[in-house]
Every structure is written in structure tokens, then in C-alpha cells.
Chains A and B, each alone.
Chain A
Amino acid sequence: MSAPPASRPVAPVTAPGAAPPAPAPGARRGARRRRRPSAAYLLLVPATLPVAVGLGYPLARQLVISFQEYGLAQQFGRPAEWVGLDNYTALLSDPYVWTVIARSVAFCVVNAALTMALGGALALLLARVRRGPRVALQVSLLLAWGTPVLASMTAWQWLFDSQYGVVNWLLAEGLGLDSMRYHSWLVEPLSFYAVATVIVVWMSVPFVAFTVYAGLLQVPQETREAAQLDGASAWQRLRLVTVPMIRPVLYVVLLLQVIWDLRVFTQIYVLQRAGAPTRETHLLGTYIYSLAKDFSTAGAMATIMLVLTLVLTAAYVRRMLREEDA
């Protein structure tokens, strides 16, 4: 389970874009000219239709509604009134909205950074340790990765249960922290976020660890050995040889982490339902959900979230598009 399947060779990380040994351009174009482009459009229809209907249309509709006054009356058929940027100015002049945005960005940064650091460290560990410990770690990570989110959420709630949870028992009995015996983790925003961070990082690390590990397997051992002969220390070899070679993988994984951690919903929502004060613990996803009855405001807030995501990831996307050009 450690190596990618032999039937499907993975392009070497060292040369993205130029990696597959492409046949001469002329030959390739010749092969393709015989195919009718109209068939290509036909093949794209089944994939385009559900995305356009299930994603594109709601997105466009939401954008329109965010510039309108759309309340209960409109749900019963009254035409919506055009209000321009009113919904946006109302939201962006509310200090609470900025608190939620700041919280979400902070949560995203902390969680993405922790996930990348731990996932990267575990990937290096997988590449260095003996077979026994490696398989043990791989199986554990797989189990954590494969467990459905809701199932692991209930397991974590049980671990952090104030009365019979193992976490409190360990802190009280194991470390002698008597005050933790009946500690309610979810009541205080800070410890609420600590619990959420533990859960989110635990769930996200396996993906990072496996993907980076797969990338590490592509780094030729010779390169590192050559660097070692040239006198590079272990840290220098990691920083100057290994990391640059797996950089494309690291970029993609980090991008996905940022997107996922910014939109985190299930973990926060479930923990809130377990008895946390919602106003003090809202992140973007749960906040938009709480606005659900007010379609225009929720639509405007969702657009703000979309723009925020794009702003935070624009540099990465540009980079990936550049590689698409190559």
C-alpha cells in the first residue's frame, strides 16, 4: 500500500508539465485531426449539465438575490426589490461579521499550518522508519481517514465528554489536573476551537501525509546521496533538495487545506449542537447557515465568503493555470 500501482506510472515530480514523454507534436495533431470535434462537445454534455444546474444556476441566482431585498413576502410571490449593494454594506458595516471573518481566517491558517506540518512530518517519518512501524502508521492513518466524518465526530464528542470522557480522565488522573475532572470543553470559545482544531487536524493529516509520502517516493535517492557527499546536513538536504522536488505536491495539498479549512462546517456545527454558545463560536459556514431564513443577507454573506476564498487562493490558482499553459 506504500507504492503507487505499477500499472499507472506517476510522472516524476521533478519536471511538471514536461514530464510525459510526448510524441512529436505533428504526429499527435495528425492523430487527432481525424476525430470530429462535434463528438467532443457531445461527450461534455452529461458532465456539464448537472454542474450547470446544481452549481452554476444556484450560484448565479444567489448572486442576483444578494442585490435584492428577498424576504418572506418574496417567498410568497411578491417580486423582489432591487437594493444594490445594501445587503453588502449592511454586512460589512457590522463589526460582528468582521469578527466571524477574522475568526474563520485565523482558524483556517492555524489548522492548515498544523495539518501541513504534522502531515509533512508523518510523511517523512513514513519514508524513514522500518517496515513494521511504517505499516502500523499507515493503517492508523487510513482508519482515521476512512471513518465517516459524522462517525468520528461522535467518537470525539464522547472522548471530550465532560463526565465520562477519556480526555478529562487522563488529565485528572494521569496528569493530576484535578480541575479538569468535569471540565466542559465546548462552553468557552477558546477551548471550543481547541477541540475543533484537534478534530479537524486529526481528520485532515492522513490525506496530507499520504500525498506527500507518495511525492517523497518520487525523489531519487541518488540526488540526496549526492548532496550528502557534497557535505549537506540532513536539514539542508530536506530544505534544498527534497522540498523543492516535491514542491508541486506541497502546493496542491496546501491549496486544498486552505479551501477546506476555510469552509469547515460539519465539525463546528456538530460541536455547536453539542451545547456550545453559537454566536461566540460561529465561523463563516455556520454563520451563513444561521442566516438561512434571510435569503438576501445569506446570499451576500456567501458571496463575501466566495470572494474571500478566491482572494486567499488566487496566487495558487494563477500558478496552477500557468502550469496548464505549459
Chain B
Amino acid sequence: MSTLLRVRRRAAAPALDLVAVLAALAWLFPVYWMVNSALLPTNRLQTPTPTFLPVDGTLANVRRVLADPSFYAAFRVSLLVTGLTLLAAVLFALLAALALSRFRFGGRKGFVVAVLVVQMIPAEALFISQYQVLDGWGLVNRVAGLVLVYVAAILPFTVWLLRGFVAGVPVELEEAAMVDGLSRTGAFFRVTFPLLAPGLVAAGVYGFLQAWNEYTLALVVMTDPGRATLPLWLQGLVESNRATDWGLVMAGSTLIAVPVIAFFLLVQHRMTAGLVSGAVKG
């Protein structure tokens, strides 16, 4: 940490500050435009000159989305899928990470290599056979089917991430607690587990983002519009309203984005740190 604290910033050139602000505007604009358009009635959107500020904006578009039962149906499916995926992925990954960094056993290295290699499999090269397998088990259009492929897709990375965190907690701490009279399980839950909290949060955020935002596998597994997740619902909304009702579409997009962005802003720095420690420590 000492190097971090000692990073001194030279007085930067004002030109660089300006470049940074311009880059900030460039990256912000599409998100801003989405929100701005969500707050404007359609007759103000489809004009020769764009309206850049929603000064006399309206919540009518947002209200129209919230009055749509299909939005709630999709919201429920997304919430269920995301929650179950998150729970399973974080719990299973934690157990695997403990095994990998607290035990020496035959095949350990092979398992670590497998975790790394599995992440190389492009999901887009597998979706057809995944569909077939789920279809054979009657899991197409089922939350359980989507959760299964999501958990399978997310686990390798969460195992990798948590492995770094568990390895970062010295086993000696646990042993000291055991000398003081705690059982092995007790020592783990009283000493190690609290120290793993940032890692668990990072893994949780990763799982949440993946499951909430995923589109491709949902497209393949949830073929029934009544079982759509939010991204599928939004794409349906776009396709039935494109060129006629962008205000509604932008309101839908904004509503999907708000919970993710709020959650994300809250905890992202942990994720970045986790990514770096995973990347560096291997």
C-alpha cells in the first residue's frame, strides 16, 4: 500500500485536463442521451433539431413502461434467474476456492489449469448444443435451465477470482484462532470469512452483472415471449416500436439500467481490485 499512498501527481498540463473532460463527455453522452430521450414525449424526439435538455420533460414514457404487464413478467424472470445464479455461483465458487488454496491434493494443478482453459470456450460456439441438451431434459423456457447455463458460464471466473482472495488470507490466522480454542469450522467462520467479504462482494457483483445483462443464452433458452428476461423484453419492445416510439424504448432501457448502474457504482472498485489481483497473482 505504501507505494499507492506515495503516488505523487505532478501538476498536470491543463491541456490534459481538457482532454480528460472531453473523453468523459464522449463516454457519458450515449447514456445521457438515453435518459434525456426517456424524459421527452415522442413528438419532441422526432423533430428536425434534437432537444438536448429535458427542461420541461415528462415521466409519461416511464409510466407507460411501468403500466405494461410484460415488463413486470420479465422483471420477475430476471430477478429470479439473477438471484439463483448469484447464490449458486458465489457459494460453489467459494467452496472450490477453499479447496484450491487451502488443500494440497492430487490433480489440484490440473483443476487450476482446467478453470483457466474453460474460460477460453466462447459461449457463442456452444449455444446450439446447450439448447439441445436443455431441450432433451425439458428445461427450455425454464428458469432452472437458464440458471444452469449461467452458473456454468460464470463459475470459472468466480472460482479464479475467489481463489486469489482466499490465498490472500494467511492460513496462520486461522491456526492461531484454533490454538485459542476454536474448531476448524469456527475458526473459518470467525476469522477467514469476514476477511473474504470484499472478494465475495466482487464475485457477487460479477455474477449479478452477467446474469442481469446476458442476452445470447437467454435468446436461445427462453424462446417463449412469456418467459423473457429483461434484455429479451427490451429487444422485443425495440422491434415493435422502432421508428415510431423511441421515447418508450429509451424509458425501457433506462429502467433496466438504473438498478445495475446503482449497484455497480456502489461496489465496482472492489471488482477492479479483484481483477487486478487475479491478473497479477495468477
A contacts, CB < 8 Å to B: 1-13, 16-17, 19-20, 23, 28-29, 31-33, 35, 37, 39-41, 43-44, 46-48, 50-51, 53-55, 57-59, 61-62, 65, 122, 125-130, 132-134, 136-137, 139-152, 154-159, 161, 163-164, 166, 169, 173, 202, 205-206, 210-211, 214-215, 217-221, 248-249, 252-253, 259, 262-263, 265-266, 269-270, 273-274, 284-285, 288-289, 291-292, 295, 298-299, 302-303, 305-306, 309-310, 313, 317, 320-321, 323-324
Contacts and interface: CB of A to CB of B under 8 A. Distances in A.
Q: 9 closest A-B pairs (Cβ-Cβ)?
A: A54-B152, A4-B273, A146-B264, A62-B129, A40-B103, A37-B105, A285-B124, A47-B96, A43-B99
Contacts of B179: none
Given A141-B24, A202-B27, A299-B128, 6 more contacts: A1-B268, A32-B102, A47-B96, A154-B238, A211-B276, A249-B279
A129 B212 contact: no
B55 interface: no
Given A40-B103, A148-B256, A5 B30 contact: no
B156 A50 contact: no
A313 B120 contact: yes
Contacts of B239: 273
A129 B16 contact: yes
B31 A133 contact: no
Interface of B: 1, 3-4, 6-10, 12, 16-21, 23-28, 30-31, 33-34, 37, 45-50, 88, 91-93, 95-96, 98-100, 102-106, 108-109, 111-113, 116-133, 148-149, 151-153, 155-156, 159, 165, 167-168, 170-172, 175, 195, 198-199, 209, 212-213, 215-216, 219, 230-231, 234-235, 238-239, 242-243, 246, 249-250, 252-254, 256-257, 260-261, 263-265, 268-270, 272-277, 279-282
A19 to B, nearest CB: 6
B256 A141 contact: no
Contacts of A61: 129, 132-133
A154 B234 contact: yes
Nearest to B8: A221
Contact of B102 (A17, A35, A144): A35
A136 B281 contact: no
A324 B112 contact: yes
Given A10-B280, A298-B128, A35 B30 contact: no
A8 B30 contact: no
Contacts of B148: 50, 53-54
Contacts of A262: 122
Q: Determine chain B's interface SS by DSSP, over half rule.
A: helix
B133 A155 contact: no
Contact of A263 (B100, B111, B125): B125
Nearest to A141: B27
Contact of B1 (A6, A19, A149, A248): A6
Contacts of B129: 58-59, 61-62, 65, 295, 299, 302
B122 A259 contact: yes
B103 A151 contact: no
Contact of A151 (B48, B253, B265, B275): B253
A305 B122 contact: yes
A147 B255 CA distance: 11
Contacts of B26: 140
Nearest to B20: A133
A43 B280 contact: no
A133 B21 contact: yes
A17 B282 CA distance: 7
A161 B238 contact: no
A210 to B, nearest CB: 5
8 contacts: A6-B1, A9-B1, A10-B277, A20-B167, A43-B103, A151-B253, A159-B33, A214-B272
Contacts of A210: 268, 272
Contact of A46 (B1, B49, B96, B216): B96
Given A205-B27, A249-B279, A125 B128 contact: no
A147 B260 contact: yes
A265 B126 contact: no
A189 B249 CA distance: 26
A288 B50 contact: no
A47 B92 contact: yes
Contact of B3 (A130, A220, A299, A320): A220
Contacts of B212: 148
Contacts of B130: 54-55, 58
A121 to B, nearest CB: 9
Contact of B96 (A44, A126, A273, A310): A44
Contact of B45 (A33, A39, A164, A284): A164
B105 A202 contact: no
A173 B50 CA distance: 11
Contacts of B7: 217, 221
B272 to A, nearest CB: 5
A302 B269 contact: no
Contact of B280 (A1, A206, A249): A249
A17 B279 CA distance: 11
Contacts of A17: 282
B132 A144 contact: no
A298 B129 CA distance: 9
Nearest to B124: A285
Contacts of B108: 40
